[in-house]
Amino acid sequence: AYATLARLGVHKPLRFLEEERIDGGERILSPGAAYMVADILRDTSPLEGFGLHVPASSAPFAWKTGTSSRHRDAWAVLYNPRYTIAVWLGNPSGKRSSRLVGASVAMPVACRIFEELTRREAQGWYEPPQELCSRSVCSVSGETPVPGVCSRMLTDLCLVGKSSERSCDVHVQ
């Protein structure tokens, strides 16, 4: 799933060896929708709460972590246009461990792998697809601001002809 997001919505079978051939794949998400997910998952500031500092000089990446119920598994995924890295940590026996938290144990491993893969070559980020645009939205509701009523706005990405045009219903005159 994350490799599909990394390919901006094109699904291909999993490849384990570089010499394995892969077909052209099948588009299952629009490039704009996949780009928006990557843009959201690109913010690394939440990782600081787990003691993981991502240097500003690091190549950009999108990321997601997870922890299973009862701490049986911890995982992390990072991706950019070139690489998708997934790390799973856990006990093969299924034994619980309170230390199995995705952001604090799996993410540092994934970051280290990513660092090694990207240290010798420049890593770019995705070009925004043509189906995207920017718009002003109410910072509270995320909807189209009501002029003179919504006091705080922010700029957000939207899919041309697909994203909601609904007006903010949180603020009323």
pTM, full prediction: 0.86
Query: What end-to-end distance do the CA atoms of the chain give, in Å?
Result: 44
**50 pLDDT above the threshold of 90:** no
Q: How confident is the model at residue 157 (pLDDT cuts 50, 70, 90)?
A: very high
**Rounded-to-integer distance, Cα 121 and Cα 110, Å:** 18
Q: What local confidence, expressed as pLDDT, does residue 53 receive?
A: 85
Are 156 and 142 spatial neighbours (Cβ–Cβ below 8 Å)?
A: yes
**Rounded-to-integer distance, Cα 66 and Cα 45, Å:** 17
- For residues 151, 154, 57, 1, the Cα torsion angle rounded to the nearest 10 degrees is 140
Q: For residue 94, what is the DSSP state? A: -
- Sign of the four-CA dihedral 45, 50, 55, 58: negative
pLDDT in tens, 77-101: 999 999 999 999 998 888 999 989 9
